[in-house]
Structure formats: structure tokens, C-alpha cells
Amino acid sequence: MPSNLPETVFLHPFTETESDPALPPEADVVIIGGGIIGITAALELAQHGLKVAVLEKGKIAAEQSSRNWGWVRQQGRDRRELPLIVQSLALWEHYQQSLGTDLGFRRTGLVSLTRDEKELKRWQRWATRGRAADITVEELNTEQAERFLRAGSRPWLGGISTPTDAKAEPGLAVPALAKAARQASPCINILRHAPYSLATEKLPVSSPNMALSALAQCYSQRGLGRLYFFANMTSGCHSLMFAQP
């Protein structure tokens, strides 16, 4: 282990989720993929009284859902995503408070600093859109930017801050949500004529509803066709998330 890494890097190692010993023969909804999307969908459905089966080829949250920076951010998002991310932050906060478990969710804020005038103007345009979506956005001048991070030989031109942005602990959050979904009391509904039958490596599972949440992991799998993803790429070396105890 490198000696120069901060101890907090290893504060929350990946938490494994135990599998149920047997698959149910029937379910109201079968969810393929045990990442953040599949697990939160299962939790919501179970809390509404549905019998849910989550099928995961590997381990719960062992792929992209535990290999990210943990940002739950509003800053810089496409204007069409802003209402959704505002609702997402509220939902994360609700989970943290209502489930009685620590998801590593903290509203630590997000600060982005730049020396590029075009980039700063682009951020300022986004700040206008962010405020229109009721997001708190602070525009920073050179002096204010310096307070967040010393610039060294070249001063910052400015930046923006979104103090209500947050982060969650990737290796901790999804397994904790999976545990909460398992503990929810589903209403068992036996379906005699389920239109879908899913063949797994263990047993077939019948369900009238099926949700595919495996995302990139199913891209090249046989029988699922070809999936296309369109996403905005995020880059920047001077985005800061501040830790809180």
C-alpha cells in the first residue's frame, strides 16, 4: 500500500451484499442489474408493496456503482437534467434520514476554478440556468477563488460554487440501500399467467414486468441487441469537493 495515500481513502471499503439462498419462482417485477439504478428501483417498489427480484451476475454494486467519485452534483449539468438532479438530492437526503443507516451522503458543496476566460463565461451562463432551477450558485472572482485553493504562480480568473451539491460513499451506499430493500415487506402476489419468463443460471423467474438496469454491462451480451448511449463528458482538474466529518 503506498505510504502517501490519505487514510480516508480506505475509510469505507467495499461492502458485500449477501445473496438470497433461492430465487422466487414468480415476482411482480424482475430487475436485471444490481447497481444504484436497480437497487433504488427495488427499494421503491418494495416499499410500495410489490414483490421484487433483483438479478445480478456478479456482486451488488461491484461495477460502475462503486467505481466512481461519488458526486451527487447539480453543477454543470444539462438544463434538461436540472429538475431531476434537484429531486435526486432530496431523495438521497430522504434515504439518509429515513433508513437509519449511513450512506456517506454529505452536502459538501462543489467548487470549480479556472484560468480560462471562455470556460468562466460558459460557467457563468450555466449559473443563470442553475438559479432558474432554484439551485444556489455563487460566482467567484479571483480573490474568492484564491480562498478556496491557492493558485500558485498563475492566479485564478474565477469560478463557481454550488454549496448544496453533495457526495455519497459509493462502496457503502448501494449495499446499504440493498439491505433496506431486502428488509422492506413486500406484498406477495402469485401470478399464474406472467407474460415474461426469464431464464437464469439457476431457475426461471416469471414476472409481468421486467426492468433492465445493467447498463454498460449488457452492451455486448447476446440476445439483447445493441444499445447506444449518449452522454456529456465531464472533465476538469480543478473541481473541489470538501469533506465534512
d(CA 189, CA 115): 60
Contacts of 244 (CB under 8 A, 6+ apart): 106, 108
Q: Quote the pLDDT of residue 79.
A: 94
How many beta carbons lie within 10 A of that of residue 12, not counting itself?
15
35-73 pLDDT tens trace? 888 889 989 988 888 888 888 877 888 777 777 788 899
Please give the model's pTM, rounded to 2 decimal places: 0.72
The predicted pLDDT at position 179 comes to 86
Name the grid cell of 35.
Answer: 447497481
CATH architecture entry for 72-166+241-245: 2-Layer Sandwich (3.30)
pLDDT, tens digit, 9 for 90 and up, residues 161-173? 999 999 998 888 9
CATH (one of 3.50.50.60, 3.40.710.10, 3.30.70.260, 3.40.1280.10) for 24-70+169-213: 3.50.50.60
